[in-house]
């Protein structure tokens, strides 16, 4: 019995708001709550369920009507009324708890008159405590025959009757509590999210990584090329930055002797909002001593195939109109080779700044936003190749100019030992062999400072203590960051990052339209 196909109890059709902006429906419900307060029974806190809906459905699912009655005990359920069908001398209600739904049945003469009167005055959304025994209706539905019922919370606002027909999706994000109440698929998305997060922790723990915590407020916004949020600490009289990445702190821990560490938590970047971006997002970063970026590509293949299997039941996952195959090995693609193929160039031409400038002009890439040097190769790649990478693909051959923390390639110092993993046309992970030469790192930080002084707000700041840590000695190390929200989008077939974040950031309601 779904909410959409059921009628709730009759409420006045007049819905014009009063001076306080409340509809007639809300005013009627407030009047009912006032009666409860007057009787001294509003918001009781002494009801304890001893069963849940899914538990009963599972336990009695195979039994016929006679067996259900014979084997049933008395059960106490707590939950929200999500549908009511009133036939005068009997009622059917749908009760929802965190595990699912179960039908309730009340009949005049089987309940005390005051209890039956209470049941008839229930509204969709009310939270109740129900007690009774099980039976099957003539249609075969497992149902709890009420012997008593208590109103625990009077809902003052009704639930949406046809939430799926709501055009404005932002209303669902703003009132996520309603979205969760009435949409089982949304609840399942966030169950899967929890499974992904716990699965990452379990996988990395089994691989010998130690979970750690690093500062969310940092004196220097380092570890990623991004614009930070700024706050101020009054007692220390200093500005602090919400972290854009935990990278530099995690590598300090590797210097300190923790050879495998990871952190899974919130990051903050003061940038735009889109289907793939939220200013506050979840990332997992991990670092492994005595490893290279090749080692991490292999580890990432194992991690993602393990998560896909655990969360969806297979390594081939439906996403949109297609299927993503997380079977190892993933494809490898050199960035310059990809640009050369798409733009009908030789590899040498794809590495020529002048050629890249002409292509960037043709693509409409703004001159002020173009990366310096061979970094423009990445701009052209983003505009021409990214969206075509549907199946999991490791892109390598990143230019030095856009990789200030990565180790130079031994065979061509114009590039670094770095990869990005693309799936469904978007970046999912970024990893590289770490730069552990303190003098090289110092020079790159200085170059980043020059870019900041030239107006690049996303260029990284000089972290002198991090350089000092490198001078102590960082073992050969590889590190990686995985965008957890984007990964969850793939594993839940979600088109927007807002669909996998419980409370995404939105414009204020007064300016939302």
**CATH number, domain at 289?**
3.30.930.10
**Residues 200 and 307 both lie in one domain:** yes
Per residue in 243-287, pLDDT tens?
999 999 999 999 999 999 999 999 999 988 899 999 999 999 999
Q: Which residue has better confidence, 10 or 453?
A: 453
pLDDT of residue 21: 61
Give residue 470's domain range.
182-330+391-511
According to the model, what pLDDT value does residue 272 have?
A: 87
User: Has residue 110 been placed in a domain?
Assistant: yes
pLDDT value for 225: 85
Whole-number Å distance between alpha carbons of 95 and 384: 52
What is the DSSP secondary structure assignment for residue 155, as one 8-state letter? Answer: -
Torsion angle (degrees, nearest 10) of CA 252, 241, 465, 439 = 90
Asked if residue 196 and residue 143 are part of one domain, the reply reads no
pLDDT at position 84 is: 95
pTM higher than the cut 0.85: yes
CATH code, domain carrying 88 = 2.40.50.140
In a domain, 384, yes or no: no
Q: Tell me if the bond preceding 365 is cis, omega within 30° of 0.
A: no
Taking 60 as the threshold, does the pLDDT of residue 6 lie above it? Answer: no
Number of domains into which the chain is organized: 2
Q: Among residues 147, 96, 87, which one has the least CA distance to residue 125?
A: 96
CB 56 within 8 A of CB 133: no
Structure-token pair, residue 404: 């200030």
CA distances from 191 to 129, 211, 476, 500 (A): 25, 22, 38, 10
Q: Is residue 36 part of a domain?
A: yes
In a domain, 356, yes or no: no
Rounded Cα distance between 291 and 10, Å, is 67
pLDDT digits (tens, 9 = 90+) for 446-461: 998 888 888 887 788 8
Which parts of 72-166 fold into alpha helices (H)?
113-120
Regarding whether 188 and 51 lie in a shared domain, the answer is: no
pLDDT band at 7 (very low <50, low <70, confident <90, very high): very low
Does residue 373 lie within any of the structural domains?
no
Beta strand segments in 98-211, E: 100-107, 127-136, 142-153, 210-211
Same domain as 232, residue 265:
yes
């Amino acid at each position: 019995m779904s909410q959409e196909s059921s009628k709730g109890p009759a409420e006045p059709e007049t819905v014009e708001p009063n001076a306080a902006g409340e509809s007639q429906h809300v005013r009627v419900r407030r009047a009912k709550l006032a009666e409860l307060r007057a009787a001294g029974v509003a918001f009781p806190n002494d009801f304890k369920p001893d069963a849940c809906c899914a538990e009963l459905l599972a336990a009695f699912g195979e039994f016929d009507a006679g067996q259900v009655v014979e084997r049933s005990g008395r059960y106490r359920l707590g939950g929200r009324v999500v549908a009511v069908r009133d036939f005068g001398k009997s009622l059917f209600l749908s009760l929802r708890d965190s595990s699912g739904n179960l039908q309730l049945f009340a009949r005049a003469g089987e309940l005390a008159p005051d209890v039956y009167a209470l049941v008839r005055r229930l509204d969709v959304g009310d939270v109740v405590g129900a007690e009774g025994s099980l039976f099957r209706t003539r249609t075969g539905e497992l149902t709890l025959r009420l012997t008593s019922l208590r109103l625990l919370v009077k809902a003052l606002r009704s639930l949406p009757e046809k939430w799926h027909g709501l055009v404005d999706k932002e209303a669902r994000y703003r009132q996520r509590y309603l979205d969760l109440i009435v949409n089982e698929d949304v609840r399942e998305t966030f169950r899967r999210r929890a499974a992904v997060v716990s699965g990452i922790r379990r996988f990395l723990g089994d691989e010998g990584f130690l979970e750690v915590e690093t500062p969310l407020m940092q004196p220097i916004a380092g570890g990623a090329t991004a614009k930070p949020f700024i706050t101020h600490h009054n007692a220390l009289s200093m500005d602090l930055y919400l972290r854009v990445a935990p990278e530099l702190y995690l590598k300090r821990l590797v210097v300190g002797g923790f050879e495998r560490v990871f952190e899974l938590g919130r990051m903050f970047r003061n940038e735009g909002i889109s289907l793939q971006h939220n200013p506050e997002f979840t990332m997992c970063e991990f670092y492994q001593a005595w490893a290279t970026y090749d080692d991490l590509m292999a580890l990432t293949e194992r991690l993602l195939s393990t998560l896909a299997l655990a969360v969806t039941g297979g390594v081939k996952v439906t996403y949109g109109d297609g299927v993503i195959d997380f079977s190892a090995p993933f494809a490898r693609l050199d960035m310059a080779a990809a640009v050369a193929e798409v733009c009908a160039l030789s590899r040498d031409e794809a590495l020529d700044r002048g050629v890249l400038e002409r292509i960037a002009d043709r693509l409409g890439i703004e001159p002020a936003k173009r990366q310096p040097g061979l970094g423009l190769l990445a701009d052209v790649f983003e505009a021409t190749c990214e969206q075509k990478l549907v199946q999991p693909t490791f892109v390598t051959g990143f230019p030095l100019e856009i990789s200030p923390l990565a180790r130079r390639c031994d065979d061509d110092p114009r590039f670094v030992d770095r990869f990005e993993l693309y799936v469904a046309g978007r970046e999912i992970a970024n990893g590289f062999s770490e730069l552990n030469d303190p003098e090289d790192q110092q020079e790159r930080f200085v170059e980043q400072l020059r870019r900041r002084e030239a107006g690049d707000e996303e260029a990284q700041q000089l972290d002198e203590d991090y350089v000092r840590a490198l001078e102590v000695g960082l073992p050969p190390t590889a590190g990686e960051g995985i965008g957890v929200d984007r990964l969850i989008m793939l594993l839940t077939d979600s088109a927007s990052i807002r669909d996998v974040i419980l409370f995404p950031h939105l414009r204020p309601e007064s300016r939302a339209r």
